[in-house]
C-alpha cells in the first residue's frame, strides 16, 4: 500500500513539474517572434502634438505719453501690448469668431471691464478664403501689436489690472486656440 501511495505521489509530482515546464515554454513562445528573438511589448509612441494656432499675450509695457508725445493725464493709462501666435500653425480669423483685447480689474463686487479693443486693431483683412472669409491671418511666430489707452475710474486706481484675449464665437464654432491658459496677464504698474 505504501508503494502505491508513493507511486501516486511521484506521478503527481512529475505531472506538476511537467505542467510548469510546459507553461513556461508557452509563455516564452508567446514572447518570441518565432526566430528565437524576444519580443517585449513596449508602449505605443505618444501621439504627435496637435497642430493648431495659439494666441498668447506675450508682452506689455505701460507708456507715460501718447503717440504724439503729450503726457498722459493723471487718471489715464496707455498700455503697449503684443499678442503672439505661439501655436504650430497660422491663426485665421473669420466670420465665426471675433477676438478682443480686454482691460479689466476686480473688486469685491466682481470683475469690471475698463476698455476693449478688437484684435487685430487697425489692420486690413487678408484675402478672403473659404475658411476665413474676409478675415485676418497671423502666421506661426508672428505678432499683433498695439496700444490700448483709457481713463481709469477712481475705484480702479489702486487695483490690479488684467489684460485678456477673449473670443466671441457664433455659438457653433469654438475659439481656434490650443491653449486658453496663456490669454491673460496680470499687469504690474
Indicate the pLDDT class of residue 6, thresholds 50, 70 and 90: low
Query: What homologous superfamily is domain 55-187 in, according to CATH?
Result: Immunoglobulins (2.60.40.10)
Sequence spans of domains, the chain:
1-32, 55-187
Side-chain half-sphere exposure of 138, counting CA atoms within 13 A: 26
What pLDDT score does 137 carry? Answer: 86
Which cell numbers hold the place of 19? 505542467
- Residue 90 pLDDT: 92
pLDDT at 128: 43
118 by DSSP, 3-state: which?
A: strand
**Tens of pLDDT, residues 62-119:** 999 988 888 999 999 999 999 999 999 999 876 666 889 999 999 999 999 999 998 8
Q: Cα separation of 170 and 54, whole Å?
A: 19
- Sheet with strand 161-169: strands edge to edge: 110-119, 97-107, 161-169, 184-187
Residue 99 CA to residue 120 CA, distance in Å, equals 8
| Beta bridge partners of residue 42, listed in sequence order | none
Task: Identify which of 162, 167, 189 has the alpha carbon closest to the alpha carbon of residue 104.
Answer: 162
* Tens of pLDDT, residues 42-51: 899 888 777 8
SS (H, E, C) 55-68: EEEEEEEEECECCC
Amino acid at each position: 500500500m505504501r508503494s502505491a501511495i508513493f507511486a501516486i505521489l511521484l506521478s503527481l509530482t512529475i505531472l506538476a513539474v511537467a505542467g510548469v515546464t510546459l507553461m513556461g515554454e508557452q509563455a516564452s513562445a508567446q514572447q518570441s517572434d518565432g526566430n528565437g528573438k524576444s519580443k517585449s511589448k513596449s508602449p505605443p509612441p505618444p501621439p504627435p502634438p496637435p497642430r493648431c494656432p495659439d494666441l498668447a499675450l506675450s508682452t506689455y509695457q505701460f507708456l507715460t505719453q501718447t503717440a504724439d508725445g503729450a503726457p498722459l493725464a493723471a487718471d489715464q493709462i496707455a498700455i503697449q501690448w503684443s499678442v503672439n501666435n505661439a501655436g504650430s500653425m497660422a491663426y485665421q480669423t473669420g466670420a465665426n469668431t471675433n477676438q478682443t483685447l480686454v482691460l479689466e480689474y476686480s473688486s469685491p463686487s466682481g470683475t469690471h471691464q475698463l476698455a476693449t479693443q478688437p484684435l487685430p486693431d487697425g489692420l486690413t483683412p487678408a484675402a478672403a478664403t473659404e475658411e476665413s472669409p474676409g478675415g485676418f491671418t497671423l502666421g506661426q511666430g508672428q505678432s499683433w501689436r498695439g496700444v490700448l489707452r483709457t481713463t481709469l475710474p477712481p475705484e480702479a486706481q489702486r487695483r490690479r489690472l488684467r489684460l485678456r484675449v477673449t473670443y466671441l464665437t457664433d455659438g457653433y464654432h469654438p475659439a481656434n486656440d490650443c491653449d486658453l491658459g496663456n490669454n491673460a496677464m496680470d499687469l504690474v504698474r
